[in-house]
Amino acid sequence: MNPRLVAILVWLTVVVASCLCITRLHIDTDMAAFLPRAASPAQRVLVDQFRDGIVSRLVLIAIEGAPDKRTTAISKRLAERLRGNEDFVTIENGDKSGFDRDRDFLWSNRYLLSDQIDPARFTQAGLRAALERDLADLGSAAGFLVKRTLADDPTGEMLHLIGQLRGGDDGPARTDGVWVSPDGQRALMLVRLRAAGSDIDGAQRALETIRSAFDAVTSDTADRAARLVLTGPPVFAVAARDRIKSDATRLSVLASGLVAGALLAVYRSPRLLALAFVPVISGALVGIAAVGLVFRTVHGITLGFGATLIGEAVDYAVYLFTQTAPDSLVEPTLRRIWPTLRLGVLTSIFGFSAMLLSSFEGFAQLGLFTITGLAVAVCVTRWVLPVLIPAGFAGVRQSRTMMRLGTIASGGWRLRLGVLVLTAVAATSLAFGKGPFWAADLTSLSPVPAAEQQLDQSLRRDMRAPDAAHLVVIRGAEQEAVLRTAERMTALLGPLVQQGALAGFDSPSRYLPSVAAQHARQAALPDAAALRTDLDAALQDLPFQPGLFAPFVDAVGKARSGPIVSRAALNGTSLSLRLDSLLSHRSDGWVAILSLRGVTAPGAIAAAIAGAQDAVLVDLKAESDRLLGVYLQEGVSLASFGAMAIFLLLAVSLRSVRRLLSVTAPLAASVVVTLAVLRLGGNPLSIFNLFGMLLVVAIGSNYCLFLDRQRGDPAGLPRVLASLLLANGCTVAGFGVLALSQTPVLHDLGMPVAVGTLMSLMFATIIMSPAHPSTPSNATSS
């Protein structure tokens, strides 16, 4: 069969198959893909919490702008309207209307829930101590707290349970019984969505519900001034998705338009323009399909960013068209530039392969997409384009501009010293620059703009939201096992609270004690006769009325023989939600979480729980910083790995130290200068900048290779230069547009690539300028 026909058939088959694949693809916008596949249990907790933990469902609502009496009234009306809506698990605005069920649950199960229950508590001595304390309490100003429950609960289990529940904190400030900021300007609400953090559609629906409910309750003209402020992870997730969607479309269209405009201006032929996009589009389609096959989903960022990244592939067609002189044919040109093109593509693929190994799934996707896309694009350029190019194609004419370019470039060697000085200055400023070199905070990776992060923090402060910075995480195969461990941890943490190592903590075992603990408590309760005898003895000489404690004896008797508390008993209480946040079933077993408040001595806590095999103390802040450290380390080593791979590839291909140096020197210089530019003003570098540098090396090496090959043929230089300049123009346009994005990933990658590739081309031209007398014309095609 005709090899040209084969090429076309293979190409069409692959492209059509890819299209079929793509139509079934799920596009995902969860930013957690740009978190790494977490390795340690602590990191998994962190990422889990981020994805679908309780925190990921919390929305903070502030109502401001109206006179204060009105904001609190709006808060009440809004809460009223939202309650009962199935998008929400809880609506809290400070009023205690939902507390009755919780109190009933605690009251009727107090002897099973209280961790103070042990046999000693119901001996004559234990009862005596409790009664004496009651007497003191009755005489106190707090007597009203004890008075009502005295006859049923002289040992004070209910007060103990309520005290644990409140955690000693009275929550945010209140006006009219509704939460307000300390300055009274904002009314505050806390809403928990039913949708998990990863269900962005669900979050969006719930947020819409809140907004329309707010509009409905502020329809009164007097309330028109009131503003609704929403913040919290679901709000961020929805905003980030919108931003990514709009960035991906807008920027891709913009970049394509710019590139197309540039090509059209140079070629003045719509047909050539269309042909130039054939390799890119083929590469993009196959690349997306490949990502879909390997990862099952494609991230929105991979699409938006990758489509531009593959803009490098437009270069291949540009090299072919521009380097074909009017009097020559396409095929010979292709054969002539193929070795260089091939080496250039291989260089890029080697560079990008580092991303493939990244533990950020998002980056791994980008790597695979790019490698596949570039390989396909270069193959299409080599074997399909020649078939598609019309018979009468006469290459681009040597224009006066081209000649002028050649002249300018041939004088470039005079600027070598300048490049050296510039690089030295850049290196010095990097070495002695102010501020931290790397962004040390995980929020630098966050897709949330800094202003929104600040608003979120200020609302959190207003809410006095406990920063769940420390957790004890327990894993096990069974619910009973993790609850038992939680009880052991509770026993260990109690004394530490007394010692001041932490202010307090919450444990799932407070709401649902293990079956073993409940049975032990039942066993600790005495039978009615024994209790009556000990109680009478304990009451000796105390001024309590005779017969007062009969309800107590009854309650103990009921608890002793009654059913134990199961998960279902909590249904309908707000405690049920607390329990859900602290006790969950995952694919790999059960997880119980004790959330710690006001930790001052994490070392002491870690030491206390060190003996437990299945429990670990997680410091979320330290862990997230450590995670970022791991990313950075990984980023640096992957980037070094990529650079090393490129270097080795070039060394093997060029087989000349001199050529190797002249190809790599411009790249090194442009990396140093670009880093210095990024660091201007003390800006810390992000990990995305680092991957950007990898792209600079991958793309810039193409320029160097073409210029290197051209040294033996100064006459052809203007044409090659023109092709490189056009290719670079496309790259700068594509990535420069990314730099406009508000999404850190896109911005931090776009900026360095736009700057760095331009530098690479300039430096390569200057360093390899053939007119320099000391440069022998010894270049041979390898």
Partner 1 sequence: MSFITRTAVFALLALLAAGPGKAAETSSNVPATLDRIMTALRSTRHVQARYIEHRYLHALRTPIETRGALHFDAPDHLEKASDPDSRGSAERLTIDGDRLTIDRGGNAPPIVLSLHEHPEIGVLVDSIRMTLSGDEAALRQNFDVTASGTVGEWQLALQPRGNQTLLQWMRISGFGARITAIDSQDTEGDRSDMSIVEQSR
The nearest distance, CB 543 to partner 1, in angstroms, is 4
The nearest distance, CB 74 to partner 1, in angstroms, is 17
CB 682 within 8 Å of CB 707: no
Our CB check for partner 1 shows the closer of 497 and 740 to be: 497
Residue 509: both structure tokens together? 């075992």
The nearest distance, CB 168 to partner 1, in angstroms, is 5
Our CB check for partner 1 shows the closer of 127 and 206 to be: 127
The nearest distance, CB 593 to partner 1, in angstroms, is 24
Our CB check for partner 1 shows the closer of 166 and 404 to be: 166
Which residue has 């052991």 as its token pair? 488
Please enumerate, as own/partner, the contacts of 525-533 that have beta carbons within 8 Å and a separation of 24 or more: 525/111, 525/117, 525/122, 525/556, 525/559, 525/560, 526/122, 526/556, 527/557, 527/560, 528/553, 528/556, 528/557, 531/122, 531/556, 531/557
Q: How far apart, in whole angstroms, are the C-alpha atoms of residue 716 and residue 398? A: 10
Window 530 to 549, contacts with partner 1 (CB under 8 A)? 543-545, 548
From the number of C-beta atoms within 10 Å of its C-beta (0-12, 13-18, 19+), residue 376 rates as buried
The nearest distance, CB 539 to partner 1, in angstroms, is 11
Window 107 to 146, contacts with partner 1 (CB under 8 A)? 135-136, 138-145
What is the residue type of 398? Q
The nearest distance, CB 145 to partner 1, in angstroms, is 7
The nearest distance, CB 545 to partner 1, in angstroms, is 6
Our CB check for partner 1 shows the closer of 162 and 387 to be: 162
What backbone torsions phi and psi does residue 583 show, to the nearest 5 degrees? -140, 120
Our CB check for partner 1 shows the closer of 494 and 776 to be: 494
In the three-class reduction of DSSP (H, G, I as helix; E, B as strand; rest coil), residue 731 is classed as helix
Our CB check for partner 1 shows the closer of 102 and 619 to be: 102
Window 79 to 98, contacts with partner 1 (CB under 8 A)? 96
- Interaction of residue 550 with partner 1, rule CB under 8 A: no
The nearest distance, CB 94 to partner 1, in angstroms, is 9
Beta carbons within 8 Å of 140's beta carbon, 6+ residues apart = none
Window 273 to 292, contacts with partner 1 (CB under 8 A)? none
**Nearest of 248, 165, 186 to residue 60 by alpha carbon:** 186
- Interaction of residue 454 with partner 1, rule CB under 8 A: no
Q: How far apart, in whole angstroms, are the C-alpha atoms of residue 475 and residue 585? A: 10
Q: How far apart, in whole angstroms, are the C-alpha atoms of residue 587 and residue 332? A: 60
Residue 595: both structure tokens together? 């959330």
Our CB check for partner 1 shows the closer of 94 and 692 to be: 94
Our CB check for partner 1 shows the closer of 139 and 629 to be: 139
What is the residue type of 176? D
**Nearest of 320, 326, 328 to residue 385 by alpha carbon:** 320
The nearest distance, CB 592 to partner 1, in angstroms, is 26
Say how many residues touch partner 1, by CB under 8 A: 26
Our CB check for partner 1 shows the closer of 346 and 496 to be: 496
- Interaction of residue 307 with partner 1, rule CB under 8 A: no
**Nearest of 374, 360, 312 to residue 703 by alpha carbon:** 312
The nearest distance, CB 91 to partner 1, in angstroms, is 17
Window 162 to 181, contacts with partner 1 (CB under 8 A)? 168, 170, 174-177
Our CB check for partner 1 shows the closer of 151 and 577 to be: 151
Q: How far apart, in whole angstroms, are the C-alpha atoms of residue 347 and residue 94? A: 61
Residues near partner 1 (CB under 8 A) are 96, 135-136, 138-145, 147-148, 150-151, 168, 170, 174-177, 498, 543-545, 548
